[in-house]
Amino acid sequence: MNSDAQILIAGAGPAGLSCALGLLRLGLVPRIVERVPAGAARSSPRGLTLRPRTLALLEPLGVAERLIAAGHKVSALRVEEGGRVLARFDLSTLACGFPFVLCLPEDVLVSILMERVNELGGRIEAGLAVTNIRIEADSRVQAHFSDGTEAVYERVIGADGANSAVRTALGIPFTGYEYPGGWFFSDEAVDETPEAGVLSLLPGGGMAFTLPCGAGRVRRVSTIAFEGALPLPICVRRAQSVERGGVRLIGTAAAAHGPFGGVGMSRAVEDGLSWAPAPDDSAGTGATDQTLAAMLELSETVFRAGRIKGGAGRFFRAYVLFLCEKVPGFRRRVLRALSGDLSD
Ligand SMILES: Cc1cc2nc3c(=O)[nH]c(=O)nc-3n(C[C@H](O)[C@H](O)[C@H](O)COP(=O)(O)OP(=O)(O)OC[C@H]3O[C@@H](n4cnc5c(N)ncnc54)[C@H](O)[C@@H]3O)c2cc1C
């Protein structure tokens, strides 16, 4: 245990570990506690993709090359309807250091981030949960742990997932909605790994996504149930406040939105990295809100387009996709959005 720590991170998932790396880079050694005991499997399968922007943010922390070595690069995306290709997008034309989406299982990401945290002098206390949180009059935070101990911190980072104990202890509402009908997914073995990710628009309304994961595997995600598929709940929920006293919520503890276009894991990492101020800087960078709002708007547009059933609507959709591929300004926007740049 780091008994001098002034910052506590609850949860060693993608968000908590990324936050820890950001703090370690500033020379701050946080205390990191993780409810799941060492060696125990996290619930899986989960997140699978890291977008170019996330890799660029992770590069200065010395992990991008390791992640790339462990993952599978996907540079092309096709949109199809009934086997007919409506549009193709080639990420390799992006003017950025990482012109591809990296497919990498979440447990591999977590173990590489943990390895780096240890190299930089951090330590993860596995099998120890935060059970309660109380904000004191001077904004410092008293934390209670599952082993019966308690301690006071300048800052507590709640990176403890969608059912956050930190958020619950503070009584912060987590409100939103569920996507009707549910989604379904499976990880499957295939004879040959496809080169491109494929978004299939289904004739009866709905969509399916096939993502190559390397080593003869693909992930299929669909709005229609299929054989061997598991249900994938997609909900959009946000904490009414992400900052209270010395407590900050990040990752899924702050906002849950399902995998939404494969960006859940990327957003958790970016959120973790966006918060790395010194303990006396209570503001943090708080990049989350804008990015999240832009991402949800984009996802809603894609979902709405995927639900179109009628002939005229489908014709219009195909025309818009044609323009998105062929008109350079539109194509650049699509590619930038895929890379994680939602600035306009
Ligand atoms: C089935 C499924 C499929 C998904 N597919 C994709 C996908 O294809 N692409 C994609 O980008 N994203 C996907 N996601 C989303 C992605 O997994 C999440 O966005 C990401 O895991 C969020 O990271 P996080 O660090 O915020 O939270 P989590 O990964 O939930 O990490 C929270 C951590 O906190 C720990 N913890 C919990 N409570 C406590 C406590 N009281 N004290 C201490 N520690 C605690 C937990 O054990 C956990 O390790 C998927 C999610 C699911 C469930």
Listed in sequence order, the residues at least 6 apart from 36 whose beta carbon sits closer than 8 Å to its beta carbon are 42, 126, 127
The whole-number average pLDDT for the span 4-17 is 93
Q: Is the pLDDT reported for residue 56 higher than 50?
A: yes
Q: pLDDT tens, 286-334?
A: 445 666 677 777 777 777 787 788 888 888 889 999 999 999 999 988 8
Tell me the H-state helices in 59-175: 64-70, 106-119, 165-169
Q: Please report the pLDDT score of residue 106 as a whole number.
A: 92
Residue pair 236/256 in contact (Cβ under 8 Å)? The answer is: yes
pTM of the model: 0.90
User: Please, what's the b/e burial string for 89-112 (b: 16 or more CB within 10 A of its CB; e: otherwise)?
Assistant: bebeebebebbbbbbbbbeebbeb
The whole-number average pLDDT for the span 138-153 is 96
Rounded to the nearest 10 degrees, what angle do helices 328-339 and 311-326 cross at? 90
Question: Atom 38 in ligand 1: which residue has the minimum CA distance?
Answer: 160
Which residue from 49, 160, 266, 288 has its CB within 8 A of the most atoms of ligand 1, so it is best to mutate? Answer: 160
Q: What is the DSSP letter of 167?
A: H
Q: What percent of the chain has pLDDT over 70?
A: 90
CA of residue 13 to ligand 1 center, whole Å: 6
In the block, residue with structure tokens 């890799």: 55
CA of residue 210 to ligand 1 center, whole Å: 21
pLDDT confidence bin for 103, thresholds 50/70/90:
very high
Who wins on pLDDT, 336 or 261? 336
Helix (H, G, I), strand (E, B) or coil at 18: helix
Residue pair 342/298 in contact (Cβ under 8 Å)? The answer is: yes
Least confident window among 19-33, 222-236, 281-295: 281-295
Pairing of strands 124-126, 31-34: parallel
Q: What is the DSSP letter of 209?
A: E
Residue 334 backbone phi and psi in degrees, to 5: -65, -45
Residue 123 backbone phi and psi in degrees, to 5: -145, 135
Q: Please report the pLDDT score of residue 272 as a whole number.
A: 92
Euclidean distance between CA atoms 54 and 24, whole angstroms: 18
Which residue from 106, 157, 274 has its CB within 8 A of the most atoms of ligand 1, so it is best to mutate? Answer: 106
Supply 60's token pair. Answer: 């200065």
Q: Is the pLDDT reported for residue 281 higher than 50?
A: no
CA of residue 229 to ligand 1 center, whole Å: 20
**Neighbour order of strands in the sheet with 101-103:** 49-50, 101-103, 72-74
End-to-end CA, the chain: 44
Tell me the H-state helices in 123-177: 165-169
Ligand 1 neighbourhood includes 268 CB (under 6 angstroms):
yes
Ligand 1 neighbourhood includes 113 CB (under 6 angstroms):
no
Question: Atom 19 in ligand 1: which residue has the minimum CA distance?
Answer: 264
Who wins on pLDDT, 206 or 146? 146
Instruction: Tell the CATH topology of 7-339.
Output: FAD/NAD(P)-binding domain (3.50.50)
Euclidean distance between CA atoms 8 and 151, whole angstroms: 10
Supply 68's token pair. Answer: 């790339």
Q: pLDDT tens, 113-125?
A: 999 999 999 999 9
